[in-house]
Amino acid sequence: MNLVDIYVQLKGDVEYIERELERSMDARTMELYQSSTHLLKAGGKRIRPVFVLLGGKWGSYDLERLKLVAVPLELIHMATLVHDDVIDDADKRRGRETVKAKWNNRIAMYTGDYIFARALNIATRLDNPRVHQILSKAIVEMCKGEIEQIRDLYNWNQGLKHYLRRIKRKTALLIAISCQLGAIASEAPEERIDSMYRYGYNVGMAFQIADDLLDFTATEKQLGKPVGSDLRQGNITLPALYSLWNGGRDGHRLRSWIEEGKLNEHIEEAIALIRGGEGIAYSRALAGRYLDRARAALADLPDNATKRSLLEIANFIVERKF
């Protein structure tokens, strides 16, 4: 399955949003312009803008209004990636040098701040306080999620509930409000706004679990970064957590490496243990349960091209290889 096929009904509008994203980086300082467009030029799935546009299909579809939500949401996502790469000391993102690697940490942090600020500036052009309230609340929750991730580095003693709350804040919430705000901006009926939020939340949870799976199951070429990058940086995601909880002797070995501060010395062996363990199947099954809930959220919506696209994206989430 290819995202291009899924996006076909929105091809012209997605291309328009892409141009608007580049136009949004209007920094007159050359270095800031170059650093802020660096990640943008690396491309991406543009899942969040597409969800805004699809959410907008349930009301009065107006691309000029929807872009004031779609562009900010993608910029917020990009800003978090720039900041993440500083925190993770990452050199590669989507197969390219990160902003912090090409410039330095200071430039990267200010670049991320600038992209955040541009997102908020653009969103204020939409005269709807509800949109601004939802967006600002989501940013607060995302920051909490990022702090939780930093706090939990190398912490193997965390439960499923803790992990799920973190990925809700880190990923699912932004996808949920992408669907919701598209519907709100188009003045869709309230029950469809609610359906889109529930769909987006569950798709977002599945998306992050699938991402955590790919970190172990995909190749470096597919990922655009080293396999097991999360584990290398001390971020213990669901496949690793399951191995730690239920991996028997292998789980004990993993815990001892973490507790003794020797994980990086055994990183390739640790990745192999997780790849060969039951955590992969468990994580895939949990992602599947979230997708079932996402599909259920769409059950009462009309059977049309928009609904079919939403269902196809949900399927793509767990089947993708990148």
How far apart CA 314 and CA 320 sit, in angstroms, is 10
Q: Where does residue 274 rank: exposed (0-12), middle (13-18), buried (19+ CB within 10 A)?
A: buried
Q: How many residues does the chain have?
A: 322
**Per-residue model confidence (pLDDT) at position 193:** 98
Domains of the chain, CATH where assigned: 3-319 (1.10.600.10)
Q: Which residue, 200, 231, 239, is CA-closest to 58?
A: 200
**Per-residue model confidence (pLDDT) at position 63:** 97
When computed from its CA atoms, the radius of gyration of the chain, rounded to whole angstroms, is: 20
**Per-residue model confidence (pLDDT) at position 149:** 87
pLDDT in 10s for each residue of the chain, 322 residues: 456 677 788 889 999 999 999 888 877 778 888 888 888 887 777 899 999 999 999 999 999 999 999 999 999 999 999 998 888 888 878 778 888 998 899 999 999 999 999 999 999 999 999 999 999 999 999 999 888 888 999 988 889 999 999 999 999 999 999 999 999 999 999 999 999 999 999 999 999 999 999 999 988 888 877 889 899 989 999 999 999 998 788 899 999 999 999 999 999 999 999 999 999 999 999 999 999 999 999 999 999 999 999 999 998 887 776 6
Q: Which residue, 236, 280, 238, is CA-closest to 255?
A: 236
- How many other C-beta atoms are found inside a 10 Å radius of the C-beta of residue 231? 24
- How many other C-beta atoms are found inside a 10 Å radius of the C-beta of residue 27? 17
**Does pTM top 0.85 for this prediction?**
yes
Find the helix packing angle between 129-151 and 105-123, rounded to 10°: 160
How far apart CA 128 and CA 171 sit, in angstroms, is 24
Distance spanning both ends of the chain, measured CA to CA: 12
**Per-residue model confidence (pLDDT) at position 39:** 81
